[in-house]
Structure 1
Amino acid sequence: MNSRQQPRWTQTWLGGVRSAGIDLGYPGERLGLPEEGSGAVAGNGRRIAAIVIDWVICTWAIAKGFFGVDPAQQAWVPLVVFGVTTFLLTATMGMTFGMRLLGIRVATLDGGSPGLVAAAARTVLLCLAVPALIWDRDQRGLHDRAANTVVVRM
């Protein structure tokens, strides 16, 4: 066979399934979400920037400013503050400070706000870090899959 007729086997695993000619659609298509605009799946850049903003707020403004804790010596205090603020804000408003600044929010798959149980499950897994680093093709981390939520644009 000619290499022009069929991709080389190295192209399929090095370039991913899209280079093999498999179309998986856009992120969120399987969930019934729009491709662009409000309600579309938020990109990873916004999500990472939001968590960095939240971590800085929890580490320096809250842990150090209010509690006087040096984050370098007691690293568990900022993590607890991060977990509590993330849980409370996600459960009540559907977004954290960083998410609000970047125009994204946490939603259930039917478009509503996550409740207490979903916010608690999502926050615990987010604080463990590893589940948040494993995404599916809809850009949902394991913490979102466990809580039955998705991060969408506002």
Structure 2
Amino acid sequence: MSKQPRWTQTWIGGTRAAGVDLGRPGERLGLPAEGAGSIAGFGRRLAAIMIDWLICTWAIAQGLLHAGPRSGAWVGLGVFALENVLLVGTLGSTFGMRLLGVRVAALGGGRPPFGAVLLRTLLLCLAVPALIWDRDQRGLHDRAAGTVVLRT
């Protein structure tokens, strides 16, 4: 009798638990395994977005713009969106990304086009698309925009 995995193993424990090798993140995209140009890990991405959120909500929205507690969250989200569109669209990374050594790139290389940056930012502000990832560690916002977050 062959050692075929049970069909429940592929959806309960994931495909890796069933013995299916999906490869490393970024392999399908032709990216290196480590170092510059490789897929940025979850920890770096999470820390970068936390830094950006703190800068946008506390320092800018509440500190400079004096947004009150009721409107502060919405003003902070607007500043966060503006920061992402302007900085990712021109430099390829936000303040937090730059501090942690990650950048947003188009799948074909280089900076993503402005329309892709707008779409990515809109979906990032909705939060849920950014929390659903594929095996290359790209959120739905990156997949929709045709972008990937890489280490610098």
Unaligned runs of 5+ in 1: none
CA shift at 1:13, angstroms?
3.4
Partner of 2:134 in structure 1? 136
Which sections of structure 2, spanning at least 5 residues, go unmatched? none
Deviation per residue, 1:31-84 (Å, 9 max, x gap)? 1111111111111111111111100000011101110113x3112110001000
- Aligned pairs for 1:30-69 (under 5 A) are 30-69=28-67
Distance (whole Å) between structure 2 residues aligned to residue 101 and residue 16 of structure 1: 34
Aligned to 1:98, what secondary structure does the other structure show? helix
SS of match in other structure, 1:24: coil
Aligned counterpart, 1:107: 105
Q: Take 1:60 and 1:130, find their aligned partners in 2: how far apart are those partners?
A: 23
SS of residue paired to 1:42: coil
Partner Cα distance (1:11, 1:136) in 2: 19
| TM-score, scaled relative to structure 1 | 0.91
TM-score of the aligned structures, taking structure 2 as reference length: 0.93
Count of aligned residue pairs for this structure pair: 151
Coordinate RMSD, CA, aligned: 1.5
Please point out which of 107, 118, 121 is paired with 1:120: 118
Contact 2:9 2:15 in 1 (8 A): no
Q: Percent identity?
A: 68
Shift of 1:15: 2.4
